[in-house]
Chain A
Amino acid sequence: MKKTTYSTTFLLSTLTLSLFISACTMATPRFDKVAYEKAVSLKVDSIALMDKSIEPYMTHESEVKVLSLRLEKAYEYAKGKPKNQIITKQWLIINDPEKHQIGGFLKRWKEKETLSKLFVNEAKKTIADGFDQVIGLESGLIKAKNAE
């Protein structure tokens, strides 16, 4: 009888501990197909628009505005997801006009009116690398989901 009481108490303690651990396991976001596709699509479209920056900014202003809006939406989407602070910080860097990713590139294009082909080609590589860090984290969540 005593053993049964002891075992029951211990089992309850174990379950309580497990529930606590379970609550702590939700510290990272879950895989999100939409977020992954948004990141890939924005990378491709950003690089494609960068190619046009050897031409006058005004000629492509409407395309820049469309892309900027989509980038802003991606940031807001990430920000709105619970426990998604890391990816949200990544989007902040990518979009920030004062930084040196696509947000900063578009600002520079507007300021300079046109950019040199050589600079654009080099910038395309670093900006693609930047997007790859978001895509890499999103795809890491896919691998984690598959491993569960």
Chain B
Amino acid sequence: MKTFKEFDRFVELVEEGTKDLATNTLRGYKDEALADAKVFLESSKDDARRWSKLLLKGELTQEDYEWLILSKKDVVELQLLKDAGLAAVRIDRFKHALMNLVIDTAFDVFV
């Protein structure tokens, strides 16, 4: 029966540690990504407004205007890729720390 208690203790310790790890490793990522996207969208709106005015004044051609809008669209795609890459990095760090937690806890409880 003692060994089952040890197993329960092991599970409990890993669960507690996992919560702390998730909080420390992944916390704030969503907020950071959203804030980053908000800043970018605001600056994109400003650019689009400025380009529209320049188009109306005839300082930019229709073709230039379209090219710039499509360029902004490509930047959005590049930013989404960056965000996906940074999220994957955080998840990797979490997995790495989780692996250490499982091993350390197992040795603490069973050895």
Contact = CB atoms under 8 A, between A and B. Distances in A.
Nearest to A128: B75
B91 to A, nearest CB: 8
B81 A133 contact: yes
Contacts of B64: 116, 118-119, 122
A28 B106 contact: no
Q: Is the interface of A mostly helix, strand, loop or mixed?
A: helix
B68 A147 contact: no
Interface residues of B, number: 44
Contacts of A24: 95
Interface stretch (A2-10, A46-54, A55-63, A64-72): A2-10
B81 A10 contact: no
Contacts, number: 135
B110 A93 contact: no
B82 A137 contact: yes
B86 interface: yes
Interface string A62-101: 0000000000000000000000001101100110000111
Interface of B: 2-3, 6-7, 10, 47, 51, 54, 59-61, 64, 67-68, 70-75, 77-79, 81-82, 84-86, 88-93, 95-96, 98-99, 102-103, 106-107, 110-111
